[in-house]
Amino acid sequence: MKNLKQRLKQGETLNGCWLNLGSSLTAELVGQAGFDWVLIDLEHGAGSEKDVLYQLQALEHTTAGAIVRVESAESQRIHRVLDMGAEGVMCPKISSPEEAQKVVNGLHYPPHGNRGVAKMVRATGFAQNFAQYYEDARETILGIVQIETVAVLDHLDAVAAIDGVDVLFIGPADLSMELGIFGQFDHPRFKEALQETVNAAQKAGKSTGILFFNPNDYQTYHELGIRLIACGADATFVADGARSLAQKLNGFRRAFNV
């Protein structure tokens, strides 16, 4: 564990990015780059649950903590990635306190949730460390719910107040789409929703996160109070690097008339 939950509680800002290629090699490359955390994306990424296992193994000896975004709040999806060794779980499109509670229930063992007990799994050192893992789980597993729907904006305080919801994570693309202002991140209504989310999290002693697309926006979101920060993805890094080099080579070809 890379202590993401405790570091956020202490007020640290944690920088991360997305992993959406389903590749253990790009996971390892990105993990070694210096990020505090990475998110393995099962909602939109190319990989399957089996690929998650390989990516977690690749990340273990890097500096990056591993969070997995599951497709839904179904407990079985959450149990699976935690048993594989994920340090945190993100669930998309939460619309109500009831849905947020369902996420938390999947994160934790009874009496705090309904996570099934399995000792012979990677997270517990294949049964060697189960007692310690069980004892520490409440303080180490990071629970993240995504603020992406219009409906949840009416319940931010209630969602943030749930024990086990550690981060309200804004999904700007989906939220702006639902607000009818897709991609307009400077729109007053989007900014208002951001501020409402941060206010609710701070009131409950929780953290706020966001994925943004321009690294130059870092200061804006940090000054707003957002501490779990994500920018970029392995697919973006590969695509940008490939395009940049191809454009440079094509420029040389034109210049030399070859």
C-alpha–C-alpha distance, residues 175 and 125, integer Å: 39
The pLDDT of 47-56, averaged and rounded, is: 96
Q: Give the helix ranges, DSSP H, for the chain.
A: 4-9, 24-31, 49-59, 75-84, 97-107, 130-140, 156-160, 172-178, 188-203, 218-224, 234-255
Three-state secondary-structure class, residue 184: coil
Q: How confident is the model at residue 1 (pLDDT cuts 50, 70, 90)?
A: confident
Kindly report whether the peptide bond that precedes residue 188 is cis, defined as omega within 30 degrees of 0: no
Which pLDDT value is given to residue 141? Answer: 98
For tokens 């070859």, name the residue. Answer: 258
Residue 12 above 90 pLDDT? yes
C-alpha–C-alpha distance, residues 202 and 217, integer Å: 21
Whether the CB-CB separation of 143 and 89 falls below 8 Å is answered with: yes
Tokens for 103? 């996420």
Which pLDDT value is given to residue 216? Answer: 97
Q: Cβ atoms within 10 A of the Cβ of 168, count? A: 29
Whether the CB-CB separation of 194 and 173 falls below 8 Å is answered with: no
Q: Active-site positions?
A: 44
C-alpha–C-alpha distance, residues 94 and 160, integer Å: 12
Which pLDDT value is given to residue 169? Answer: 98
Name the average pLDDT for the chain: 97
The pLDDT of 64-78, averaged and rounded, is: 95
What pairing do the DSSP bridges indicate for beta strands 142-147 and 37-41? Answer: unpaired
Q: How confident is the model at residue 257 (pLDDT cuts 50, 70, 90)?
A: confident
The 10s digit of each residue's pLDDT in 116-139 is: 999 999 999 999 999 999 999 999
Percent of the chain past pLDDT 90, that is, above it, reads: 99
Residue 220 above 80 pLDDT? yes
Q: How far is CA 65 from CA 13, 117, 194, 221, in A?
A: 14, 23, 25, 21
Residue 169: closest CA among 96, 228, 102, 88? 228
Number of alpha carbons in the 13 Å side-chain half-sphere of residue 1: 21
Task: Identify the H or E element spanning 143.
Answer: strand 142-147
The pLDDT of 229-257, averaged and rounded, is: 96
Angle at 253 between CA 247 and CA 254, to 5 degrees: 90
C-alpha–C-alpha distance, residues 118 and 137, integer Å: 14
Residue 5 above 90 pLDDT? yes
- Of 232 and 257, the one with more pLDDT: 232
Which pLDDT value is given to residue 189? Answer: 98
C-alpha–C-alpha distance, residues 114 and 109, integer Å: 5
Q: How confident is the model at residue 203 (pLDDT cuts 50, 70, 90)?
A: very high
